[in-house]
Amino acid sequence: MIEAIYNVYSDYNNIIDIYCKRLKYLKMVLETKVTIEDALESPQEIKIKYLDKKYNWERESLSNKFLIEYDFYRQSYIPEEIIDKIKLALKNVKWKEKQKIDELNEILVSYCKMQGSALLDTVISVGSGITGLLEEIIWNHVLTSKLFNYYVFIVEKDFETLGENVPLAIYQDYYEIEEKIEEQRKNRE
């Protein structure tokens, strides 16, 4: 299984697609000149920035995506099998463009999370209204962004008032209870 995951990362663009803060954390790990062994020998003298507790979220998230692993001492490191691909990704990332894409994802995913589920047309309209981007650009983003599609499922659903095969965006944590959410909305009306 791990080989299949690393195979996905053989295309460095798949590494670039992750959240910008995680990319910056990987960059910090790569740029650190102090080794874990040095830190373990004299921890009072050496502080490794990327091991700070404020980066727990980044470490956990990257570990879940198999971009970092932990050694015996629970210290993180980048696996040898993908370190060259990570270097290539960091060399080729366009940071300002990546930041704008992440901001768009934050808006769209946050809206879906707050709603639980929403008509995809509504998600697009809200995103366009907040960002000022054309709806066509947001449609393209929603359909192609791996990060957005990691958090939000797009399904088609039949509605009496709207018709058949209407695209619906469902936040991943609510996918299993989407029908209960819809029932509660009907009861509230």
Whole-angstrom distance, CA of residue 34 vs CA of residue 87? 18
In order along its 189 residues, the chain shows pLDDT tens digits of 788 888 888 888 888 888 788 888 889 888 876 555 665 666 555 566 777 788 888 888 888 888 888 766 556 678 888 889 999 999 999 999 888 898 999 999 999 999 888 999 999 999 999 999 999 999 999 999 988 988 999 999 888 788 888 999 999 887 777 777 777 767 776
Considering the domain architecture, whether residues 111 and 87 belong to the same structural domain is answered as no
Q: Residue 64 is encoded by which pair of tokens?
A: 């879940």
Q: Of 64, 92, 120, which marks where a domain is finished?
A: 92
Q: How far is CA 94 from CA 19, 69, 101, 177, in A?
A: 13, 26, 11, 38
Q: How many domains does the chain have?
A: 2
Q: Are both 41 and 125 inside the same structural domain?
A: no
Dmax (CA) for the chain in angstroms is 68
- In this structure, the answer to whether residues 71 and 117 fall within a common structural domain is no
Domain hosting residue 120, numbered range: 95-188
Residues 100 and 87 in one domain: no
The answer, as to whether pTM is greater than 0.75, is no
Are residues 29 and 83 both part of a single domain? Answer: yes
